[in-house]
């Protein structure tokens, strides 16, 4: 496994990030523990989750599964750089109750303590804001963060799904206040089929020293060989992948992608991950395996060296928008 610094910090993290969103909803606890053991054995030390994972009446379940895994011992917690998120409503089921979501100082304090209890740990290494909160000023957010850092409950702070201007705003206010070093990572939607982050989000992250952590690197399975699987009678696509395949133009792109990858004797999903590892500013993509074999496929991607010919072919099929303002102006 290769390692890199997380943004401008001294923290070393693996070039693949283990996403845990499927632990609970798709993968039972025993299999989830086996996947985490295999990931750790392979050198993946960066684990990502969120307080809402498990969803609905089971929200928090994923953090509990991870906490039970830590409780098995064997230096599991010490070896892991643990990241979780705050924003989604964690209040009781039924009508939303005030102050159980978003980024108020009250909810951040409440959410950290609840996550620590579920995760069965005394600190969170990277605490991430899952979405922007248009109602809470960053002065209040950073004040809450300062307290939690002083208490030793969190070490670093990251963002997720932030536009470029919010990354800038957050870190400029952090710099004015002193204390916290501000955001050190941004987790964004970024893959071959969705490259809009290249316009402003990734440049902002690079300028402010944030590591970029792409989520949905296979774009909901669309880049994982769906056309071939469909032709071979495999599981039908759903969600984002199904919508794209119903569009003739998008389907033609995916077919061209699979043909190009096949010409080079490679697997689509592994190429999609390996491509992200070549991109400027990217710390490592999040892989969210439902099974151990999906994890092994992701691990193979780290070893791939994509040729210049293949990279050029990928750009022809999935051209990026280019940086702003040139992407929309002169």
pLDDT at 302: 93
* Pick from 126, 134, 136: nearest CA to 158: 126
How far is residue 87 from each of residues 101, 106, 298, measured CA to CA in Å?
5, 12, 28
Instruction: Name the active-site residue from 53, 127, 208, 257.
Output: 53
Helices 292-303 and 29-41 pack at an angle, to 10 degrees, of: 20
Residue 53 known to be catalytic:
yes
Q: Give per-residue pLDDT as tens, 16-59.
A: 999 999 999 999 999 999 999 999 999 999 999 999 999 999 99
Give the chain's domains with CATH numbers: 3-221+268-309 (3.20.20.100)
Angle ∠(25,41,281) on CA atoms, nearest 5: 75
Give the integer Cα–Cα distance in Å for 101 and 103.
7
Q: Which two tokens stand for residue 96?
A: 């939303």
pLDDT at 292: 95
For residues 117-138, average pLDDT: 98
Contact in structure between 286 and 17 (CB atoms under 8 Å): yes
Average pLDDT across the chain, whole number = 95
* Pick from 46, 324, 320, 77: nearest CA to 185: 46
Q: Give per-residue pLDDT as tens, 60-99.
A: 999 999 999 999 999 999 999 999 999 999 988 777 788 9
Q: pTM score, two decimals?
A: 0.95
Q: Give per-residue pLDDT as tens, 173-219.
A: 999 998 889 999 999 999 999 999 999 999 999 999 999 999 999 99
Q: Give per-residue pLDDT as tens, 252-294.
A: 999 999 999 999 999 999 999 999 999 999 999 999 999 999 9
DSSP 124-149: EEEEEESS--TTS-HHHHHHHHHHHH
pLDDT at 237: 60
10-32 in b/e form (b: 16+ CB < 10 A) is ebebbbbbbbbbbbbeebeeebb
Residue 136: count of CB within 10 angstroms of its CB: 17
pLDDT at 11: 98
pLDDT at 245: 84
pLDDT at 238: 64
């Amino acid at each position: 496994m290769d390692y890199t610094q997380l943004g401008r910090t001294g923290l070393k993290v693996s070039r693949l990030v283990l996403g845990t969103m499927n632990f609970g909803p798709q993968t039972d606890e025993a299999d989830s523990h086996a996947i985490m053991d295999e990931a750790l054995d392979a050198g993946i030390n960066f684990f990502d989750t969120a307080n809402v994972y498990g969803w609905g009446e089971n929200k928090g379940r994923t953090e509990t599964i991870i906490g039970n895994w830590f409780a098995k011992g064997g230096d599991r917690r010490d070896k892991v750089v643990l990241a979780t998120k705050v924003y989604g409503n964690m209040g009781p089921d039924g009508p939303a109750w005030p102050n159980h979501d978003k980024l108020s100082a009250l909810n951040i304090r409440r959410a950290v303590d609840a996550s620590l209890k579920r995760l069965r740990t005394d600190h969170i290494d990277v605490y991430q804001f899952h979405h922007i909160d248009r109602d809470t000023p960053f002065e209040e957010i950073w004040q809450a963060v300062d307290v939690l850092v002083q208490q030793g409950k969190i070490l670093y702070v990251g963002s997720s799904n932030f536009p470029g201007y919010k990354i800038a705003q957050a870190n400029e206010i952090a710099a004015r206040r002193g204390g916290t070093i501000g955001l050190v990572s941004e987790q964004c939607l970024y893959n071959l089929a969705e490259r809009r982050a290249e316009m402003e989000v990734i440049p902002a992250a690079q300028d402010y020293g944030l590591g970029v952590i792409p989520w949905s690197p296979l774009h909901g399975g669309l880049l994982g060989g769906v056309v071939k699987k469909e032709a071979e009678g495999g599981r039908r696509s759903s969600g984002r992948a199904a919508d794209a395949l119903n569009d003739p133009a998008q389907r033609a792109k995916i077919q061209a992608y699979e043909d190009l990858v096949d010409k080079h004797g490679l697997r689509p999903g592994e190429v999609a991950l390996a491509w992200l590892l070549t991109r400027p500013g990217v710390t490592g993509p999040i892989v969210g395996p439902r099974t151990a074999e999906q994890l092994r496929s992701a691990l193979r991607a780290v070893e791939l060296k994509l040729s210049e010919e293949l990279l050029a072919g990928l750009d022809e099929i999935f051209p990026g928008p280019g940086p702003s303002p040139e992407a929309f102006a002169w």
